[in-house]
Amino acid sequence: MAQVQDADFVERLKAREHSAMDELVDSFSDKIYNLAMGILKKEQDAEDVVQDTLLQVIEKIHTFRGEAALSSWIYRIAINFSYMKIRKIKRDDYIPIEDHMPKFENNGMHQYPVSNWAEKADNQLVRKEMRELILENIDKLSEKYKVVLVMRDIQGMSTEEVAEATGMTVPAVKSRLHRARLFLRDRLARYYKG
Amino acid sequence: MRCEDLIDLINDYLEGEMNPEFKGEFERHIDDCSSCLAFFETYKKTKELTGEISCREIPSEVQSRIKNFLKSKLTSK
């Protein structure tokens, strides 16, 4: 993503310069689209989120105080639009994350022996299948986990950036991310442990 | 360090955010516990595979459409 200098860029957006609008789309539409696709899965829904987000960015740019990075402010708007959209879609296929957390005895030891299937991913066909399974299972996560996982592990944002964009604390992002990864690991484990 | 504690700390270990004392304990536990080693390696692999999922790029025609939409919407006011 192209880096934009926040202060100058914000002034140009306030002035509604066409070149600034183009720069806004060039700099942020990919990231917003990717995030929205990760949450919503449908291209048309993701496109709507990009359009609604960028429109609101320009319409509300005068309220941007510069306390957070402009990108975080934009992602927060995009997350809100994605949530609004998902509320309209009836979903009943979430899997409770608790069912996939590791189980321990009272003394803190594993309840069951853990099998190591990591090397199976050395086979390229299995690796591709595993990636598809991960993608399928990301969709089974509730949004609060999905947003963090997509931003951190797929989009490669830092934990601090995710925290700023979601309005969460860094420890809360870490905890949610860890639980989302534990969920995905367990979904793969159930498939490949044999 | 118990297995349960180790699992809680995997991400800190992978991010290099663990203090040296815990790091040593973490590594000694993994050397001795095959279940924790398996858990650690499969967690790491899951993270690695998730990172290989490619970002979906926005189609260029959609980008152009949004640019035109923003200009028509915001300069007509």
Residue-by-residue DSSP string for A52-105 = HHHHHHHHTGGG--SSS-HHHHHHHHHHHHHHHHHHHS-------GGGGS--B-
| pLDDT computed for residue A90 by the predictor | 64
Q: Residue A108: which of B27, B31, B30, B3 has the closest Cα?
A: B3
Instruction: Convert the pLDDT of each residue in A53-97 to its tens digit.
Output: 999 999 999 999 888 889 999 999 999 999 898 877 766 678 899
Among the partner residues B36, B49, B55, nearest to A34 by beta-carbon distance: B55
Q: What is the pLDDT along chain A (194 residues), one digit of tens a residue?
A: 334 568 889 999 999 999 999 999 999 999 999 999 988 888 999 999 999 999 999 999 999 988 888 999 999 999 999 989 887 776 667 889 999 999 999 999 999 999 999 999 999 999 999 999 999 999 899 889 999 999 999 999 999 999 999 999 999 999 999 999 999 999 999 988 75
Beta-ladder partners of A110: A104
ipTM above 0.90, yes or no: no
C-alpha B30: how far from its chain's center?
21
| pLDDT computed for residue A7 by the predictor | 84
Any chain A CB within 8 A of the CB of B30? no
* Mean pLDDT rounded to a whole number for chain A: 91
Name every chain A residue with its beta carbon within 8 A of the beta carbon of B38.
114-116, 118
Record the tokens describing residue B48, joined without a space: 């690695």
C-alpha A100: how far from its chain's center?
20
Domains and CATH numbers, chain A: 6-88 (1.10.1740.10), 97-192 (1.10.10.10)
- The residue with greater pLDDT, B77 or A40, is A40
CA dist B33 → A48, A129, B69 (Å): 50, 29, 59
* Mean pLDDT rounded to a whole number for chain B: 91
Q: Answer whether A154 sits within 8 Å of B66, measured CB to CB.
A: no
Record the tokens describing residue A15, joined without a space: 């002035």
Q: How far is A177 from chain B (nearest CA, A)?
A: 9
Record the tokens describing residue B38, joined without a space: 């398996």
Instruction: Convert the pLDDT of each residue in B20-52 to its tens digit.
Output: 889 999 999 999 999 999 999 999 999 999 999
| pLDDT computed for residue A2 by the predictor | 39
**Mutation site for B-interface testing, chosen from A24, A51, A56, A116 by largest number of B Cβ within 10 Å:** A116
Name every chain A residue with its beta carbon within 8 A of the beta carbon of B49.
121, 127, 130-131, 134
Q: Answer whether B34 sits within 8 Å of A113, measured CB to CB.
A: yes
pLDDT band of residue B56 (cuts 50, 70, 90) is: confident
Q: Residue A33: which of B63, B51, B50, B52 has the closest Cα?
A: B63
How far is B19 from B13, CA to CA, in rounded Å?
A: 9
